[in-house]
Chains A and B, each alone.
Chain A
Amino acid sequence: MNHLWRKKKFFLGGLFTLLLFVLMHSLIQSGLVSRHIQSLSVPVGLNMILALSLFLLVGMLGELSLGHAGFMSIGAYAGGLFSKAMVQVIPVWIRFPLALCVGALVAALLALLLSVPVFRLKGDYLAIVTLAFGEIVRSLVINLPFTGGAAGLKGIPKDTSFSFLYWIVVFTIWLTMWIYSSKIGLEWRAIRDNAIAAEACGIPVVSRKRTAFVVTASLAGVAGVLYSHHYSILTAEVFGFNRSIEVLVMVVLGGLESAIATAVSAFFLTIAPEMLRFLNQYRMLIYSLVLIIVMIGRNTQWEKPKWFQQRRENA
């Protein structure tokens, strides 16, 4: 029965995303949606992918990364440079998927290199290392000869489209949900809840952490490729510390428990500043206030069972 219900859910979900796509696509085609709203769809989609990928690490594995934008940056530049070099060589319909792969692979490779020493350390060193990593990537991009320096990398072919973005977002949501209930997702969450017990229950903690870190980074790389092929111009400043924190806020606000909640949180936090535009100079003030209130509201729900449990353990 459970099995059938799952199939049904999968089918209904697929139908819903397809209908939503047709609806949004035809709205855009018919010109009923303003240019402004249309342009908003890009940051919304990118932030959803970024938040979901970070959710894998922060929500499921329980490790903190403060340099998520660094991996996005690597994906953006790697994919961008690839497409720029291949503009005359490969037709677009194969060039862009290849660029996505290149961005994801390069980000994954760097994550793998980084993960070898990091997860040997005991304790919460990942936050510090990723923080430094993000800064290193930023200054490298400014100083390397082939990234366009501070002026930026220009002339990346605009290979992406709304359809690409939409289906990659859908894929990311599906992938995250699937990982969540798969064996590997169970293992990540077990590590998050109690690493010592996880190890004693047959889970190779260090190697699982590496896997999670690499998957997270490669998805951020994909977001980067989408970014560079939409805006066509890249500067290092776009992928700074602020962006990493922005994405982290989306993930934390999403509740760290569900992929859908994370995606919804990313959606609203991206459009919120736009919605609040009528407040003029008070915009960011109100935005921060709303954020603080929501966080407090969410936390009071959380703390209670934890406190309860601790009392029990002491007894």
Chain B
Amino acid sequence: MISSQAARREPSGHPALEAQNLSVSFGGLNALQGFSFQLGYQQIGGLIGPNGAGKTTCFNLLTNLYQPTEGNIKLFGHEIKGAPSYHLFRWGLGRTFQNIRLFHRMTVLENVLVTQPNSSFFRTNHQHRKEALDLLDFFHLADQAEKKAGSLPYGAQRRLEIARALAGNPGVLLLDEPAAGMNPSETSQLAEQIKEIRNRFQVSILLIEHDMHLVMGVCDYLWVLNFGHQIAQGTPMEIQRNPAVIEAYLGRKERSEC
């Protein structure tokens, strides 16, 4: 369907990823209602909103873990709704998970080797190992390559998840709360790394994050969800001044302070 790697890299008039009127409900609860967005080439987009707003649900719809009741999804201009998750990955849609889902009994290196698209059906050769180690090096994980992934500290596990997705050579990367559980210095390092990832691997990134400092510093464009509805979109500057957003967030703050 999406044949060449080049098709993922060259702007062709289509957004890298777009969704129209995306909706799903779970037994009467509208987890997501008519959400539409367009993520441009090598753009970093942010999906924010209070807990339970439907952000993770949106990712699960995009990667076909859930089937939308309504709506369309296009990757590089191609309709992908209903395509199995593994096809989506091969077509260039990589993701990470909010609750880390590593291959925890495999080594760090193996976690990356397994998603490499061109490694042969049989042995993973020398070249693949070298590429994998280079990638791990970028995430400061190369010296732990032979450790079990499950034994890594939390922050390193999050970085390994990103590395694993990147090993598949994606054109679009979905990051679900990449900074969750990281300490402030790890978080600011991650913010730099996300921008570096965009430049070095030429990917478009859509990220979910609660750390507003990271979001405002990294994202080019934001969509705000609340109770499954989009309540605002715009640049970080616009969003910070948006009264609906302030209300949604302050409302949440008051609740959590009680």
Produce 1/0 per residue, A191-212, CB < 8 A to B.
0111011111111110000000
Chain B 151-181 per-residue mask, 1 if CB under 8 angstroms from chain A, else 0 = 1001000000000110010000000000001
Chain A residues, Cβ within 8 Å of B154: 312, 315
Distance, CA A60 to CA B90, complexed state (A): 23
Residues of A within 8 A of B95 (CB): 200
Complex interface bits, A96-131 against B, C-beta within 8 A gives 1, otherwise 0: 000000000000000000000000000000000000
Contacts of B119 in A (CB 8 A): 183
Contact with B along A279-315 (1 / 0, CB 8 A): 0000000000000000000000000011001001101
Does B253 interact with chain A (Cβ within 8 Å)?
Answer: no
Per the bound structure, the CA–CA distance linking A169 and B158 in Å amounts to 42
Residues of chain A within 8 A (CB-CB) of B200 are none
Interface size range on B against A: 35 or more
Q: Tell me if B103 is interfacial: C-beta within 8 Å of chain A.
A: yes
Considering the complex, give the chain B residue whose CB is closest to the CB of A201: B115
Which of chain A's residues have a CB closer than 8 A to the CB of B126? 2-3
Would you call A189 and B105 a contact (CB within 8 A)?
yes
Give Cα A186 to B106, complex, Å.
8
Contact A203:B103 (CB < 8 A) given known A181-B123, A183-B124: no
Contact among A3, A186, A199, A313 for B114, CB-based, below 8 A:
A186
CB neighbours of B100 from chain A (8 A): 313
B89 touches A189 (CB 8 A): no
Interface contact A193-B123, CB-CB below 8 Å: no
Cβ-defined contact, A193 with B168, below 8 A: no
- In the complex the two chains form, is A305's CB within 8 Å of B124's CB? no
| A49 at the binding interface (Cβ < 8 Å) | no
Residues of A contacting B: mostly: helix
**Interface members, chain B 103-123 (any A CB < 8 Å):** 103-106, 110-111, 113-115, 117, 119-123
A72 to B152, CA, bound (A): 41
Using known A-B contacts A182-B123, A201-B168, determine if residue A194 contacts B102 with beta carbons closer than 8 Å: yes
Closest A residue to B168 by CB, please name it: A202
Task: Name A187's closest neighbour in chain B (CB-CB).
Answer: B114
Interface size class of A (residues with CB under 8 A): 20 to 34
Asked if A193 and B105 sit within 8 Å, CB to CB, the answer is yes
CB of A64 closer than 8 Å to a CB of B: no
Q: How far is the CA of A200 from the CA of B62 in the complex (A)?
A: 11
CA gap between A281 and B110 in the complex, in Å:
49
Are A305 and B102 closer than 8 Å at their CB atoms? Answer: no
Of A198, A199, A202, the residue contacting B103 (CB under 8 A) is: A198
Please indicate the chain B residues that have their CB under 8 angstroms from the CB of A2 in the complex.
126, 129
Looking at the assembled complex, report how far the CB atom of B75 sits from the nearest CB atom of chain A, in whole angstroms.
14
Nearest 9 CB-CB pairs, A to B? A202-B89, A197-B101, A193-B103, A186-B114, A199-B85, A201-B115, A190-B103, A194-B101, A182-B122
Which B positions have Cβ atoms within 8 angstroms of A?
A: 63, 65, 84-86, 88-90, 94-95, 97, 99-106, 110-111, 113-115, 117, 119-124, 126, 129, 148, 150-151, 154, 164-165, 168, 181
